[in-house]
């Protein structure tokens, strides 16, 4: 365990040598890990810079829009949408409801498993003085669960009538951007969430044909 006076690290944390000039600082109190040196650390530094650059776009009306998009992408909203589709009683409604349910459940399972394996800290924890514009649902940042679920639905609905595919894709992009705008996630978290969502969406199409 390190001493802050000797290493410059916060008291109670310890550092591991990951090889290749990289080191990882682990905080047992918050169960989060921070990469401090090495090539990956430089990528994460760029990721942080991109996140901070979003602050120049902050305005009251944009914050309202971003919070609304984030709420549309949470578990309660997807659950309500799925139940509403199933409740229509039509074959197409049931089909959409089952695809939505399969896609979001798979996306959530994948994203939550990675979150608890990689334990990347949220921006408001790892960046001094940073304040998010929305409450975080958990402690871990990578990948974005909201984005994963949203993109899974976009892929699941890709070939559906009434323009559902393009509308779902537009919504998923908005949800992903809202997570960065609000400071809940880094851009890399959102990109990874989108990729997971594509995988989950494709899987849902196989499960619910």
Residue 6 lies in a domain: no
Residue showing tokens 């984030």: 70
The domain in which residue 187 lies consists of 59-207
- 67 within a domain of the structure (yes/no): yes
Q: What is the mean pLDDT of residues 93-111?
A: 96
Q: What is the pLDDT of residues 134-156, one digit of tens each?
A: 888 888 899 999 999 999 999 99
pTM over 0.85: no
On whether residue 150 sits in a domain, the answer given is: yes
Asked whether residue 98 is assigned to any structural domain, the reply reads yes
**10-24, 79-93, 141-155, 158-172 — which is least confidently predicted?**
10-24
**Cβ partners under 8 Å of residue 139, min gap 6:** 30, 31, 32, 119, 121, 122, 125
Is 153 within 8 Å of 100 (Cβ atoms)? Answer: yes
pLDDT over 70 at 85, yes or no: yes
Domain assignment present for 135:
yes
Give the total number of structural domains in the chain.
1
Confidence bin at 174 (pLDDT 50/70/90): very high
Does some domain include residue 14?
no
In this structure, is residue 37 part of a structural domain? no
Per-residue pLDDT at 115: 92
Determine, yes or no, domain membership for 154.
yes
Per-residue pLDDT tens over the stretch 25-78 = 545 555 455 555 556 777 778 888 889 988 899 999 999 999 999 999 999 999
Which alpha helices (H) appear in the chain, and where do they start and end? Answer: 4-7, 39-53, 60-72, 75-87, 91-118, 123-126, 145-156, 164-181, 187-207
- Sheet of 22-27, strand order: 14-19, 22-27, 32-37
């Amino acid at each position: 365990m390190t001493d802050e006076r000797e290493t410059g690290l916060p008291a109670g944390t310890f550092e591991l040598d990951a090889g290749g000039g990289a080191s990882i600082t682990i905080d047992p109190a918050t169960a989060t890990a921070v990469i401090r040196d090495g090539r990956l650390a430089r990528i994460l530094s760029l990721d942080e810079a991109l996140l901070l650059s979003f602050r120049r776009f902050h305005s009251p009306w944009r914050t309202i829009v971003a919070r609304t998009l984030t709420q549309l992408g949470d578990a309660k909203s997807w659950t309500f949408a799925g139940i509403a589709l199933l409740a229509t009683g039509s074959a197409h409604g049931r089909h959409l409801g089952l695809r939505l349910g399969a896609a979001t459940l798979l996306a959530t399972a994948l994203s939550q498993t990675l979150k608890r394996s990689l334990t990347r800290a949220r921006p408001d924890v790892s960046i001094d003085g940073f304040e998010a514009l929305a409450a975080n649902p958990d402690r871990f940042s990578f990948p974005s669960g909201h984005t994963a679920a949203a993109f899974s639905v976009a892929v699941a609905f890709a070939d559906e009538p009434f323009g559902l595919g393009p509308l779902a894709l537009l919504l998923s992009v908005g949800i992903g951007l809202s997570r960065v705008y609000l400071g809940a996630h880094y851009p890399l978290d959102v990109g990874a969430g989108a990729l997971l969502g594509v995988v989950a969406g494709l899987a849902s199409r196989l499960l619910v044909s």
